[in-house]
Structure 1
Amino acid sequence: MKHLYTLFLVFTTSVAFAQLAPPAELEPYYSNVDFTSTGISLKNDLIDLTTDKHINFLSYSDVWEASKITDLDADNSNNIILLYGYSDTDNNVTTDRTRAKNANGGGVGDWNREHVYPKSRGNPNLGTSGPGSDAQMLRPSDVQRNGQRGNLVFANKSTGQFLNGESGSTNGGWYPGDEWKGDCARIIMYMYLHYGERCLPSNVGIGSNTSTPDDMIDLFLQWNAEDPVVEGGLEDVRNAYHANTSNEYAQGNRNPFIDNPYLATAIWGGPDAQNRWENLSIEDVSQNTIKMYPNPVNGNEVTILSNKDIIAEVYDILGKKVKVQSISSNQSKLNISGLSQGVYLVKLNSENGTETKRLIKQ
């Protein structure tokens, strides 16, 4: 049985890395970064960039307003997306994936600001200003689910646990859910990049740093590879908003590991993560635009729009290929009637290359 994690999680044994060059729209932002370098040298360039571009320091109250803009549900602009959430249909408010955007507060049924890097695990405490009010790190979360996580460190789930992608307590820590583990890993990487020893990865995750040149741990490198960035998804929307200083609540800086998860591989080694800049050109993007919706999906069909013929390969969260379907440019339905509830990766292969999207079946 071939597992998808064999594609993502084979640890690099060579010092050779893929060439990195940001696409044209990101070149101005990254103009001072030497992408021919790797390891700590590349990390230092990204530290300088991330710090220098952070020109608007939001108050803790400002983050409420920023979140109502950056974390909107693409399918319902009256709602925001909740970190750690996984179901809107199980009649359990604490597991909700979406919530009315103005239902923020501190009561049952409200959403609040989750410190993905818990305040108390910073050295010193992150507080509610500076790193403690960094909107790249704070995410909306159900109040009770946020309380269940508390300041638990991140940990891998046990075998056979959370088979439908749920979040929850595990192995003395907290598993953020199949949909969110990559998001959380890239946030922790950003915090370490921006705030250094005040936000050590080893203080917030169960894993080893013996194979990395500093304090990065293998857990976050694994999650970054296993759960790639969804093209045009929530992480991209948040990043684009905060990079645009004309936006009222924009910080000015980006999370580089969202722009390209492979930057983590180039700095710290470990499993080969998604390289969003590999063989990318404006011509390729215009030639083959692929959209997939609705997502999450409650039914048995997903619409895939493409101007090229594609082959869709669907993998479950353990990496097992569970479906293959050819989809022509004039036939746009992917049949998922045989799939149970959970999180899947959909590889969309065309003559111009491969695009990977995350699919949630509720």
Structure 2
Amino acid sequence: MKLKIKTNLLIGTLLASQLAYANVDNGGFENWSGSIPNDWSTIDSGISLSKTTSFVKSGNSAAAVTVNTSTQGSTDFRQSVNVTSGETYNYSVWVYHTEGNVQARLYVNGYQGYSNASITGQWQELTYSFTASSTTRIPVGLRFYDVSGFDGSEIVYVDDFEPHNSTGGGSSSGECSAGTFNLTTDNYGSETSWSIVNSSSSTLNSGSGYSSSTSYSEDVCLDDGDYVFTIDDSYGDGICCSYGSGSYNMVVAGNTVASGGSFGSSESTSFTIGSGPGGSGGTTNLSEYYKSAENLTGFTLKTELFNIINGHTTQSYGDLWTFYTANELDSYYENDGTILDIYSESPNSSDSYIFTSGIDQCGNYSGESDCYNREHSFPRSWFGGAVNPMNTDVHHIFATDGYVNSKRSSYPYGEVSSASYISANGSKVGSASSSLGYTGTVFEPIDEFKGDLARAYFYMATRYENNIVGWDSNSIYADAVLNGSGDQVFETWYLSMLKSWHTQDPVSQKEIDRNEAAYSHQGNRNPFVDYPIFVSEIWGN
């Protein structure tokens, strides 16, 4: 590959300078800080790296990558480089397989070619020619994939990621924030297109020409700054839900910055990369409902959101049944119009049982499938009992199986290490996982609804900012979750878990539709469904 670079340099001084502009820092893996090669800023938990001087393609050292997992989403290491619009860059990397049960895949602004895992005991080269469509920064690196025979741990040696700075040791400042755009098209995928535009009105990323009823995942990498994400439908009916159940979400640095599916011709979302709690920045170009919260961050933003959503119209407890009959229906999984119960819904298979709206309301129950009732995800014992408006606030009260609801009791949500009870869809009661930092009994919903419940809790922390101080004294479980304040609200262990659930389970079309229905029902919205980035802007990453 070095010869290729020299050949390219002969083309002229201008191209040479542009190739330097795209250089990979420490691509020869000569410079290390402990077990981390300098300038490689994104290294996942499923791999470990160390310096080797025994298996080297050129220079004095290379990277020994030990792959410890078959979970491929945890086996990346990357950095970002500058590229110039219209220029072509020839990237390559050399890999050395030891056992032949792991593949390496080159990453250049997206996943490119694979190595041949059957070639062991010798170096092989992966190459990709990249033409930049805009002047920006792109991520480059590698991902590792297990193949048949993988025993859970294997070493792959890596060297000469080119074009690179031979001296290495450059600064890691200015790295872009990695992200992913996820799209599921409706029955007319060719009508869908999208773009990300920066504050200078330059289009950094875009996509079009999609197949129908197909899921896509495309990587992006964005520097700190302000952006507008726009999705378009040329026919004018969005991507959900008249002709298929399309949806999209954009996740950057672990935060969902845009999501949806139900719109007309176009939908735009503004977001900011690089702002944090209490810092400068904040989201701009908010919808009219949230206009007064523009440019705010930290607990100042939280208080302004409280001012916006405070004072909703309190409905009766019986009105929750009416809301469920009209709006808590399965139009997303089996799409059969039955009650969508988060404690019994099986997203990837047929439900074990169903509830008919208005007919199977609790009532008495002796086991699962007997009836559905009104589950206060934020237990009402925590806020003092049947006290309004909390007791009838539909933003945190979901239709659920009565028996599973009773098993949940008033336990905190959490992650279970040893289950004493498991519902038909996999919801669990049991001892908290030691990784939570809490010892006690918790209830763990399935992954499909963890983000929904986290955002319901962020809503409660914000909507009742003026009431929530002191709720920690109402019960032992409230005390385990709430820290007695009106700003952070949650104990650190619980806040960390909620933020993790919020990130891992982005806003779904179901949540978007439910939020609209709740707005019609009681006159206020959940800000964290409308703008998921508010979570990190208030409580940090």
TM over 0.5: yes
Cα distance between partner residues in 2 of 1:204 and 1:85:
25
Cα distance between partner residues in 1 of 2:392 and 2:372:
16
In structure 2, what is the equivalent of residue 214 of structure 1? Answer: 488
Is structure 2 residue 514 aligned with structure 1 residue 238?
Answer: yes
In structure 1, what is the equivalent of residue 373 of structure 2? Answer: 112
Q: Which has the bigger relative contact order, CA under 8 A and spacing at least 6? A: 1
Change (3 A) 1:43 1:78: same
Is structure 2 residue 283 aligned with structure 1 residue 20?
Answer: yes
30, 47, 64: which is aligned to 2:321? 64
C-alpha contact (below 8 Å) 2:518/2:524 kept by paired residues: yes
158, 167, 175: which is aligned to 2:444? 175
Cα distance between partner residues in 2 of 1:182 and 1:4:
21
C-alpha contact (below 8 Å) 1:155/1:170 kept by paired residues: no
Q: Where do residues 1-362 of structure 1 align in structure 2 (5 Å cutoff)?
A: 1=46, 2-3=72-73, 16-17=275-276, 20-21=283-284, 27-33=287-293, 35-52=294-311, 54=312, 56-74=313-331, 75-76=334-335, 78-87=337-346, 96=353, 98-102=354-358, 103-108=360-365, 109-122=370-383, 125-127=384-386, 129-158=388-417, 166-171=426-431, 172-196=441-465, 197=468, 204=478, 214-216=488-490, 217-230=495-508, 233-244=509-520, 250-270=521-541
Cα distance between partner residues in 2 of 1:256 and 1:5:
34
Cα distance between partner residues in 2 of 1:254 and 1:204:
24
Unpaired runs of 5+ residues, structure 2, are 1-45, 47-71, 77-178, 180-250, 256-272, 432-440
Change (3 A) 1:39 1:3: same
Change (3 A) 1:4 1:120: farther
- Give the SS at the match of 1:104: coil
Cα distance between partner residues in 1 of 2:348 and 2:536:
37
In structure 1, what is the equivalent of residue 88 of structure 2? Answer: none
1 or 2, which has the higher helix percentage?
1
C-alpha contact (below 8 Å) 1:60/1:129 kept by paired residues: no
RMSD: 3.8
1:206, CA displacement in angstroms?
Answer: 6.2
Count of aligned residue pairs for this structure pair: 249
Cα distance between partner residues in 2 of 1:158 and 1:134:
32
Cα distance between partner residues in 2 of 1:84 and 1:189:
20
C-alpha contact (below 8 Å) 1:117/1:204 kept by paired residues: no
| Letter paired with 2:522 | Q
1:16, CA displacement in angstroms?
Answer: 3.0
C-alpha contact (below 8 Å) 1:9/1:226 kept by paired residues: no
Change (3 A) 1:148 1:30: same
Who wins on radius of gyration, i.e. which is larger?
A: 2
Change (3 A) 1:168 1:30: same
In structure 1, what is the equivalent of residue 247 of structure 2? Answer: none
Unpaired runs of 5+ residues, structure 1, are 245-249, 271-362
Cα distance between partner residues in 2 of 1:82 and 1:22:
35
Change (3 A) 1:120 1:43: same
Cα distance between partner residues in 1 of 2:460 and 2:318:
20
Change (3 A) 1:253 1:91: closer
| Letter paired with 2:510 | L
Cα distance between partner residues in 1 of 2:75 and 2:446:
17
Cα distance between partner residues in 1 of 2:410 and 2:516:
29
- Give the SS at the match of 2:363: coil
- Give me the identity figure in percent: 25
Cα distance between partner residues in 2 of 1:5 and 1:121:
41
1:128, CA displacement in angstroms?
Answer: 5.4
Cα distance between partner residues in 2 of 1:10 and 1:176:
25
1:251, CA displacement in angstroms?
Answer: 0.4
1:77, CA displacement in angstroms?
Answer: 5.5
1:229, CA displacement in angstroms?
Answer: 0.7
Return structure 1 stretches of 4+ with deviation > 4 angstroms: 4-12, 88-93, 159-162, 202-209
C-alpha contact (below 8 Å) 2:297/2:537 kept by paired residues: yes
C-alpha distance after superposition, 1:138-188 (max 9, x if no partner): 1000011111101111112339998x9721113211101111111111111
C-alpha distance after superposition, 1:46-104 (max 9, x if no partner): 0100104x1x21110011101111211115454120022243999996xx5x4211211
Change (3 A) 1:169 1:227: same
C-alpha contact (below 8 Å) 2:347/2:448 kept by paired residues: no
C-alpha distance after superposition, 1:275-326 (max 9, x if no partner): xxxxxxxxxxxxxxxxxxxxxxxxxxxxxxxxxxxxxxxxxxxxxxxxxxxx
Change (3 A) 1:49 1:187: same
Which deviates more, 129-138 or 84-93? 84-93
